Structure formats: structure tokens, C-alpha cells
Structure 1
Amino acid sequence: MLQGKTIAFLVATEGIEQIELTEPWLAVERAGGTPRLISTEAGEVQAFNHLDRADRFKVDATVDEVSADDFDGLVLPGGVANPDALRLDEKAVRFARSFFDDGKPVAAICHAPWTLIEAGVVGDRAMTSWPSLRTDLTNAGASWVDQEVMVCANGPNKLITSRRPDDLKAFCQAAMDAFGA
């Protein structure tokens, strides 16, 4: 159970894979936690269903307004454009890295590990991702595995990673277990 726990969902202004945002969000709510949408800009963000525009979501706060101290864990949804934009935003990268500095669990799916590579936190970690990130993760010092979910506790925190939307059930379960611990 996540009663009394608040989980940050860090996204860019667009390019978020909608189901990779909404399914973990619902899992946090079902577990009794409070999800909060954090972005690089105030207002709304644009989600996508692969390459097609999907829904817009209201941002709860920007990375300028919060810190890891405000949260019990972090979810990084994928989509190609979302983590690509986040890794270019110094404040977003610093926010993601701060969860590792504080020893708090982080869950990243699909292309989201790009942000973690930029944050310099994947070395010596076992991870999975969308297959095209394999070389990027390996070059950054991670050990890449091809499985639906990977929970790595080799480091200051638990890191939960998954490959794709088809893995969301296992991803959400592993993330809720880590956030509830």
C-alpha cells in the first residue's frame, strides 16, 4: 500500500507515451498513493499514442517548484520525444538524479532510461529498456537485459525498468512494490 505516499511523474511538454503515463498513475492511485505530474513547464503536456496525438494532462508543478524531498518515488514514462527532451533539460536531469542521491525508488519504462543516462546514474546497474537503447545503456555502464521488468537494487536505491507498453502490468506491480517498501 502507498497510503500517504506521493509519487512524482516527470515528463517533458510533449511526446509522452500516454499509456506509460496513465497505467502507472492509476496503479499509484489504486494502491492509495498520490501521483503528481511534474514537467519542465507549467500548463498542460501533450501525450501520444505512439505517433498520434492523444490526451493533454494538467501539470501539477514544474521542476523549479519541487524537489525529491517532496516525493517518495519517481516514475519516468517513455515515448521517444519525452525522454529525449528531458535529457536536454538540466533541471529535469538534476531532479531525476536527486532521487538516486536520496536513495528513493525510480521506475523508468521504454525510452525513459535516456534521462537516467544523462543523469549519470546507470553505471553498474542491471536494466532493460526499449531495445534501441541497449547500446546507449551499455556504453553508460549498465548491464542490459531483455525481460519484461528488471528490478535492480545494486546502488543507493531500487531501479525498476521495463521495455514497452506490453510490459506495463509487470512494471506497475514492481514499481508499487518498490514504492510501498
Structure 2
Amino acid sequence: MELDMDTDLISLWKAMEQQVDAGRARSIGVSNFNADQVKRIVQAARIIPANNQVELHLYFQRKELAAFCKALDVTICAYAPLGSPAFPEFYSNVMKGDAKKLPNVNPLQDPVVLKIAKNHNKTPAQILLRQIVQRGIVVIPKSSNPGRQKENFQVLDFELTEEEMYEMSLLDRGKKFSLNFNATAAKNGKHPEYPYNAPY
């Protein structure tokens, strides 16, 4: 696959605005945009992005980006909110890599999360989702298990304390993980619009 190194985000956004004008879309947004990219779109846009969908979880909390987007009235939507607990298996079976060399990226097993889950009689997944919701961020957990899908909805009947939120905020590692596909990421990283070369 050859990358188009001349990608023009502004012209692409204007083409999306035309889809709204034509009645083919009601809301348009962006995904994996860093703060500079969001700012450039907002400055050139007739229609402000409704949302910026990004990887966001306990170990990659995106605090600066979330605050930046909020100031521009662009909502943040978190994908991979539980981290990437299944990624080591995927990495081993599909990408044929050594999963033992991967960092621990399973917040579901984090001791702080387990402690808070016990305090609230909730699952670790519910604690992770609640932390994001309580930050005012939209969250889209993924599960093919009906029981877990139901469980994921049950995060609005309790609240984390300020101390618990603070404890969880300290666990931010500031690094992405779910899309870290080695060779692909290395190639993409040379693209002028690769979003992860910016501070946030």
C-alpha cells in the first residue's frame, strides 16, 4: 500500500461539509486527530467537527487533547476504553510476534482498578468506563458478549470519589497502544499528517 503523502485535510473536510449540504450526513467529525489538526479544521470550517474519536483509556488518558477539544466545543469519543486486553493474542496469532515482549496493556488487571472495583462491587470494566464517563467523555466499549454488553451499560448508577478519580489519573502512561502495528506504524509515522508525532 502506497501512502498519499500530499493529503490535504482541509480539502477533505470541505468535501465532507458538502455531504451535509447535500443532505447525505447530519453530523461529521474526525478520528485520531491531534490538537493541531483539530485547530486547523476548526479555523477553516463552516461546520465545526461534532466529534474527535480517539484511542483513550486508563493508560492513555489524553488529558490535554480532551481539554483542547472541549474548549472548541468538539466532543471526544473514546475507543478502546478498556485498553487492548486481547491485543497480545492478536499480536501473537495474526502478526506472528512475540507477545511476551509487549508491555502490560491490560488496565482490567491493574491493582488500583481492582481495588476500586471491589469498593463499589463493580467489575473492573465498569470502573474503567465510569472513569471516562465521569470525565465527560463519550465512550464506546466493544464486546461480542451479550452479558458484557449489558454490564457496560451499568455505569450510571454509581460515582467514583474524587480520590479514586485522582488515583486513576496517576496511572496515565501517555502512550497509545491499540493501533501500534510496528511496521505499519513506522511507515505511517513518516506521513506529514501522522497524528502521533505531535505532543497531543
Q: When the two structures are superposed, what TM-score results if normalisation uses the length of structure 2?
A: 0.28
Q: When the two structures are superposed, what TM-score results if normalisation uses the length of structure 1?
A: 0.30
Relative contact order (C-alpha < 8 Å, sep 6+): which is higher? Answer: 2
Larger Rg: 2
- Of Structure 1 and Structure 2, the greater strand share is in 1
- Of Structure 1 and Structure 2, the greater helix share is in 2
